[in-house]
Structure 1
């Protein structure tokens, strides 16, 4: 057993969660800061239509990332449980299959996206005035698809083996380069929104190269024995099944954006699409610490579930929910008290600020419950229960938000669209509570029936 495996199985949950979550949280915050700063540069360098364009393009990027998340989180769950069960061969075979599948997926996305970009942008809500800007942006982004997908896969793999610091450095390098390159390409080279896209692609390549070098120099627990012809379809199917919840969550966000952008175009026009772009960045920045904690939580929960240490699984879940709830409540307070200031960071457009501030207050009214929902959903990814994980991933954005957005917009117009956000947050948290309580009873039964626990 390696030192890292001993750490995952025996170190106190508090220290372990801090050790794995802190690097992930820092990395996620820097990534969110990049999105934040990127939008500021585009807003100041291109204008309101530039912000609207990335609001249209970002959901397409989310679809690309969804494939990376599906393979990365699904495979990482298998790797964590395999390492917990002392089956390193299966863990390494899974890693190789993740990389092979990721390359194929990335190439398919690039080809499909290049051929049907105009249709995709129109589907995602691009108006005639926004379309030229969105096309300039996404024509560049789509060629980086392979690196987006592989970056997600490698980041999840290093976290699965407990090397959270390596994942953090990769994301820090990528985000840092993006922040440096953005103003150079946008302003110095006068490339506008296309320059922002180029900065993003180059930064993703650099971040992925750092992770690839980590494995090529044999610094990880897993050996990188990449063989594109060594396919294990049982592992691939299990990877897709477990990762389907993460995929659904990401794609659900894109489907939600399609509905939202099109409804906003009808009820509010280009300005409302730009406002959503700013609100989305602010809420994402607020919620990133939650996802950082979740990334630290996943390998701990998965490893100990594989090792049949169910008391540690319950302990890390409870602690993670407390921490994420503190973060989400803090974010709620900040967004409620300083909306004009926060939106004014992105643009000097007084109309955007005056209409955006009340919309931000409404949209963020229930984000204080999201911390619980994120960890509750992550529990089922970690322990390999694809069904509940899929339902919880889809609940907020697909099962609740989309019907609510249509209903509320018909009743209250633009105001109804913004009201759909807190309603969806609250209802999805209640659904999560039901599934978590049910799983908690199952783990209590396992603990009660296991002689190892009975002797304690």
Structure 2
């Protein structure tokens, strides 16, 4: 009886006809959860920043590797969330359960393989990224401790997608909140009190991941949600795995491109010195803080979009899409304006070096010039994933950090130096937003036509 009450407490009815209320009930916990993740990254950066420019530069150069690992979990998670929400909308809970269980079974070995491979070539990776002799040993210390916990990170990511896809976004929020509080408490203890430096920051992050996966494990064991996750539900059916892979592949590729984009960005910046790497790292973190809440709203809408698509209720999908566009665009425009206006005090939170501050302020302003388009780009990608349109979602999601950014960051710095590094991000942001806007208008027209046809 208690377990049933708990399930009702965490679960949200995806068929609720009051769409604004439904979206807010799903999205706000996701926004809070991902905002907590952004704050966790910012807090780590603030603590590490007090150790000097080399320390924050080393941690910043590790981010592309972490993004690369997270790409596997995000790809599996996105494919699974779309699969679950569409099958729940069609009333097939058994198939949704098989998809969730199979996804977790795939995530664990994938994480182990990636961890072993990266540890074997870690020094070469940092050298390829342009790490200077002063940064290299710090970056290796940080990554060597953080990487062994990456399998837990993958399982946590996939578990979060499963829980949110069935409407239990509040459970995911509280799990991330507890992990953040633990990380925030352990950071100063390990970094300063125990004198572990950047290794302490990595250890605190890993322990917070252990706490998060423990909560998700308890959620599944107690069968708190609609979807049943167990070994008995794991299926090796080719068609099931293919569905998970096809929808998740663009998300995985997008995250891999983000990792490569980060590598190219820091590689292009490294030629100008450690202060420039630290400054760009700060600007990227501030950009991420703004992006994650918007992503949280999109993730919150994914279950509703997929559920409506599975039920063939196209009018409902259009209503959700319009509401989400208004929210995400408003958030991205307001955030970009706020960062441009208050760039200096924001940067000062991360560094007390005058030179790093000046470079980071300029970087923040340029990086956020066209961030207002991010709301469109993020939502359109999520919508296409929810509807199972993998190829079109790839066209939109690959633009911002892939086929627009990478050529620009390779070409522009050779023409105009560090200004070219900054311009590459602004051009990619603008171009990706315009592509997303065009695709969105086409999709709206198709959905309206589907709603009119019997």
Contact 2:329 2:372 in 1 (8 A): yes
Q: CA deviation at 1:354?
A: 1.6
1:58 matched residue in structure 2: 63
Contact 1:364 1:421 in 2 (8 A): no
Cα-to-partner distance string for 1:152-188 (whole Å, 9 max, x where unaligned): 0100000000001011111111111111111110001
Q: Distance in 1 between matches of 2:154 and 2:38?
A: 18
2:285 matched residue in structure 1: 281
Q: Distance in 2 between matches of 1:261 and 1:141?
A: 20
Q: Distance in 2 between matches of 1:316 and 1:165?
A: 20
Contact 1:159 1:299 in 2 (8 A): yes
SS at the partner of 2:230? coil
SS at the partner of 1:223? coil
Q: CA deviation at 1:210?
A: 0.5
Equivalent of 2:273 in 259, 269, 272: 269
Distance 1:228 1:258, change over 3 A: farther
Distance 1:143 1:165, change over 3 A: same
Equivalent of 2:184 in 165, 171, 179: 179
Q: CA deviation at 1:227?
A: 4.3
SS at the partner of 1:10? coil
1:96 matched residue in structure 2: 101
Q: CA deviation at 1:36?
A: 0.6
SS at the partner of 2:14? helix
Q: Distance in 2 between matches of 1:319 and 1:431?
A: 20
1:357 matched residue in structure 2: 361
Q: CA deviation at 1:128?
A: 2.1
SS at the partner of 1:408? helix
Contact 1:100 1:228 in 2 (8 A): no
Gaps of 5+ in 1: 451-456
1:412 matched residue in structure 2: 416
Asked if residue 321 in structure 1 is aligned to residue 349 in structure 2, the reply is no
2:138 matched residue in structure 1: 133
Please, which moves more after superposition, 396-405 or 432-441?
432-441
**TM-score normalised to structure 2 length:** 0.96
2:351 matched residue in structure 1: 347
Cα-to-partner distance string for 1:338-368 (whole Å, 9 max, x where unaligned): 1111111111111101222122111111101
Contact 1:99 1:226 in 2 (8 A): no
Contact 2:377 2:397 in 1 (8 A): no
Equivalent of 1:217 in 222, 236, 248: 222
Contact 2:60 2:281 in 1 (8 A): yes
Q: CA deviation at 1:53?
A: 0.6
1:243 matched residue in structure 2: 248
Q: CA RMSD, aligned part only?
A: 1.5
SS at the partner of 1:317? helix
SS at the partner of 1:200? helix
Contact 2:85 2:165 in 1 (8 A): yes
Cα-to-partner distance string for 1:287-310 (whole Å, 9 max, x where unaligned): 221011011011110111001111
Equivalent of 1:36 in 31, 42, 46: 42
Distance 1:110 1:286, change over 3 A: same
Gaps of 5+ in 2: 1-6
Contact 2:370 2:426 in 1 (8 A): yes
